[in-house]
Amino acid sequence: MMKQFSTLLLTSLFGMCIWANVPNGYYNNAVGKKDEALMRALEGIIYSHTELSYNDLWTAFDSTDVAADGFYIDMYSNCKYNNQSDHTAGASYVGQGINREHSFPKSWYNSQTPIYTDLHMLIPVDAFVNQRRSNYPYGVCAGGTTYTNGNLTMLGKIGKSTYNGYEQTVFEPDDEYKGDFARIYFYIVTCYKSNVGTWPGCDQLDYAANDYKAFSSWSIQMLLEWHRADPVSQKEIDRNEAVHKEQGNRNPFVDHPELAEYIWGTHQNMSWTGSDTPVDPINKKVPVLLPVDEDMVTGTSFSANWTSGGDVSSYTLNVNRIATGEDEATLLMSESFSNVNANADGYEDISSILDELTDNAGWTGYKLYTAADHSLKVGTSSTAGYLTSPELSLASTVSVKFNAKNWINKSGVSDRSSIVVSCGDVSKTIQLQDSASDFTAVLENCNSRNIKLSATTGGKRFYIYNVEIYNGDLNSQNNAPRRVIVEEGDSTWRHISGITDTCYTVQALAGGLYEYMVKAVYTDGTESAWSNVGHVSLTGEGSIIKGDVNNDGEVNIGDVSAIIDYLLGNASQNFNFDAADMNGDEEINIGDVSAIIDYLLGKS
């Protein structure tokens, strides 16, 4: 932790050095671009450079890799080497001599030029360690082998990967240099973007699956973790400057570390601005509900008001009566993982692509894997996994019904797991069985927009086959669950979309305590998070004039127009649903128009 703090401090102190030595306008062609277009622009900037000869590298190392003590900075060992050290072709122990190391192994690209002598990825290292590293991918291994010779020692270790998604032999660098190697790898697949698809490759690359992102999924995740945990150091800044002088191009991920996020990480789909702060041209704010105007509250209606969401095309308002034991449970969402097609447990964490595998968009999670029978395996032997639902308009009483079972290993040993079902601060723990079974958790005083299903700890894995989430108590005797159909409503809930003002009057509600919230739909089609939750209490008292659809106190031709507007998708905010159901068939349709006309003509 101290090392990382020191590195961060140095990065801050010398941040101006990064900018001061980058040629003016060097990255201009990449500004305003995103994703693959950004990567292609960077390739165009850095690909053209002076191709060094293999022998030139020894001279170049004297300017790129010599520390203040006059010896090379060896990222593979603590040995002290310089240009006069033995340039051995083979070594039997640590400290015997030095090699020119292709940190990105040459067998992965068939020794093609100019990458073969690209100084950005070639480094001076101990020959024995270099031979042990071979062409293994960089990775993470617990309990790997570290070679020593007295006080001389290898930095890092070699062993079987313990990083999720990969199980073969890897070379794990020392923590101090993991970020360095991640940025070297980012440079390589960017500088040679147009060639990567033709390379023989390795397990660290998966161009077929991930296209321009080049790396395998596990490798993308790991390299980003290294990049973030070990920020750019002064050593890297100095080396980048020296390599630029030697071969005429720069590593963009040292000059602008944030570029990795724009291509592989958290800023994908955002245009790079030339700095580490993404600028969204659209003004986006989460609307905030204002206190209820008591003068606008009647026995069956209230007016919701909120602040502006910025560049908004419309707002969506959700209103739900807080469930009691007497209420029917309302099905909000059913998830069956029908798009998961697997015959056995997967090995890659699919949390980042859940939207491709779930019936409902918006699921998130951690340590999730595809499994047989349209299910997910949650958790690993060392890490607790979890699954979080999309944002829902949850009442204070929520029921979560799911089908799940314990994970059992090949020897028949069960993990004997439990699932923690939670809604904000409220949770219940459900003990699972070795065969798939249905379970129901009823949560009172729910205070979140999501439901979370979590393993209790690492080594407590489970399979989950489906999830249903209800407002209300499924265990209530008088339950008759029904699915919520959005864009419709009844006397206990409403989902209103397309509101263009920052207020809306909700009418014809039954008595009870209601909660409501609003979100903005921005002009680019994206949506805000839900606002804070408002509450209002209605008595349910007050008469409804059948046919008075526009709430002007009488039934007239204006009510006919109001229903027709509603059927055409242009309902006004004063539309009274209960009054509009003139013929009592529990639907609003052309029959209600006819019924009002008959009433006005004295035929009913």
Tens digit of pLDDT for each residue in 118-167? 999 999 999 999 999 999 999 999 889 999 999 999 999 999 999 988 99
Query: How does residue 232 score in pLDDT terms, banded at 50, 70 and 90?
Result: very high
Q: What is the pLDDT of residue 280?
A: 55
Residues 51-64: tens digit of each pLDDT: 999 999 999 999 99
Q: Is pLDDT of 5 > 80? A: no
Both tokens of 353, joined, read 């692509």
Q: In the chain, pLDDT over 90 holds for what percent of residues? A: 53
Which pLDDT band, with edges at 50, 70 and 90, does 553 fall under?
Answer: low
What Å distances lie between residue 316 and 93, 322, 398, 518, 524, CA to CA?
69, 19, 22, 6, 15
Dist. CA 259–CA 250, nearest whole Å: 13
* pLDDT given for residue 373 in this prediction: 85
| Fold of the domain spanning 543-604 | Type 1 dockerin domain (1.10.1330)
At residue 572 the predicted structure's pLDDT band, cuts being 50, 70 and 90, is low
Residue 594 exposed, middle or buried by CB count within 10 Å (0-12, 13-18, 19+): middle
Mean pLDDT value of segment 586-593? 84
pLDDT value of position 20: 41
3 has pLDDT over 70 = no
> Which pLDDT score, from 0 to 100, does residue 278 have?
59
Q: What is the pLDDT of residues 190-222, one digit of tens each?
A: 999 999 999 999 999 999 899 999 999 999 999
Domain-wise residue ranges, the chain:
2-263, 280-327+483-541, 330-471, 543-604
Average pLDDT over residues 73-90: 93
Specify the CATH class of 280-327+483-541 in words: mainly beta
pLDDT score recorded for residue 476: 65
Model confidence, pTM = 0.49
- With 60 as the cut, is the pLDDT of residue 482 above it? no
Tokens of 166: 């990969």
Question: Which fold would CATH assign to domain 330-471?
Answer: Jelly Rolls (2.60.120)
- Contact between 364 and 351 (Cβ < 8 Å): yes
Phi, psi at 126, each rounded to 5°:
-60, 135
**Tokens, residue 158:** 């070699």
The dihedral through the CA atoms of 450, 451, 454, 456 has a sign that is positive
pLDDT computed for residue 481 by the predictor: 35
Residue-wise pLDDT tens digits, 236-274:
999 999 999 999 999 999 999 999 999 999 888 888 988
Average pLDDT of the chain?
86
Q: On the CB side of 141, how many CA atoms lie within 13 Å of its CA?
A: 21
pLDDT at 324: 58
Q: 435-463: b or e for each residue (b if 16 or more CB lie within 10 Å)?
A: ebeebbbbbeebebbbbbbbbeeebbbbb
The residue-averaged pLDDT of 432-455 equals: 91
CA nearest neighbour of 264 among 201, 183, 200: 183
DSSP-derived letter for residue 328 is P
Q: How far is Cα 106 from Cα 96, in angstroms, rounded to an integer?
A: 23
What average pLDDT does range 583-594 have in this prediction? Answer: 82
Task: Write down the pLDDT at residue 281.
Answer: 64
- pLDDT attached to residue 528: 85
pLDDT given at position 546: 77
Asked if 280-327+483-541 and 543-604 have one fold, the answer is no
Lowest mean pLDDT among 154-163, 376-385, 422-431, 570-579: 570-579
Helix, strand, coil abundance in the chain, percent, nearest 5:
25, 25, 50
For the segment 291-324, what is each residue's pLDDT rounded down to a tens digit?
A: 998 888 888 888 899 999 998 888 888 888 876 5
Looking at residue 343, what is its pLDDT? Answer: 84
